[in-house]
Amino acid sequence: DGGITQSPKYLFRKEGQNVTLSCEQNLNHDAMYWYRQDPGQGLRLIYYSQIVNDFQKGDIAEGYSVSREKKESFPLTVTSAQKNPTAFYLCASSIIAGGSTDTQYFGPGTRLTVL
Amino acid sequence: KNQVEQSPQSLIILEGKNCTLQCNYTVSPFSNLRWYKQDTGRGPVSLTIMTFSENTKSNGRYTATLDADTKQSSLHITASQLSDSASYICVVSRSGGSYIPTFGRGTSLIVHP
The tens digit of pLDDT for each residue in A4-45 reads: 999 999 999 998 899 999 999 999 999 999 999 998 888 999
How sure is the predictor about B38, in pLDDT bands with cuts at 50, 70 and 90? very high
DSSP state, residue B55: -
How sure is the predictor about B101, in pLDDT bands with cuts at 50, 70 and 90? confident
pLDDT above 70 covers a percentage of chain B that reads 96
Inter-chain contact A108–B32, Cβ cutoff 8 Å?
no
Chain A CB within 8 Å of residue B29 CB: no
Residue B27's pLDDT is 87
CB A77 within 8 A of CB A66: yes
CB B5 within 8 A of CB B25: yes
Interface A:B, Cβ pairs < 8 A: 56
**How would you class B42 by CB atoms within 10 Å of its CB: exposed for 0-12, middle for 13-18, buried for 19 or more?**
middle
Task: List all residues 6 or more positions away from B82 whose beta carbon is below 8 Å from its beta carbon.
Answer: B15, B111, B113
Chain A CB within 8 Å of residue B110 CB: no
Compute the mean pLDDT over every residue in chain A, rounded to the nearest whole number.
91
Mean pLDDT of the B9-28 span: 96
Interface mutation vs chain B, best among A47, A104, A105, A111, most B CBs within 10 Å? A104
The strand pair at A110-114 and A10-13 is best described as: parallel
How sure is the predictor about A102, in pLDDT bands with cuts at 50, 70 and 90? confident
* pLDDT greater than 80 at residue B96: no
The rounded distance, in Å, linking the Cα atoms of B110 and B80 is: 10
Tens of pLDDT, residues A77-101: 999 888 899 999 999 999 876 666 6
The rounded distance, in Å, linking the Cα atoms of A26 and A24 is: 7
Q: Which of A39, B56, B57, A65 is nearest to B47 (CA)?
A: B57
Residue B25's pLDDT is 96
Compute the mean pLDDT over every residue in chain B, rounded to the nearest whole number.
93
What's the Cα-to-Cα distance from A21 to each of A36, A44, A63, A83, B42, rounded to whole Å? 12, 17, 14, 17, 16
Residue B97's pLDDT is 61
**Minimum distance, in Å, between the CA of residue A18 and any CA atom of chain B:** 23
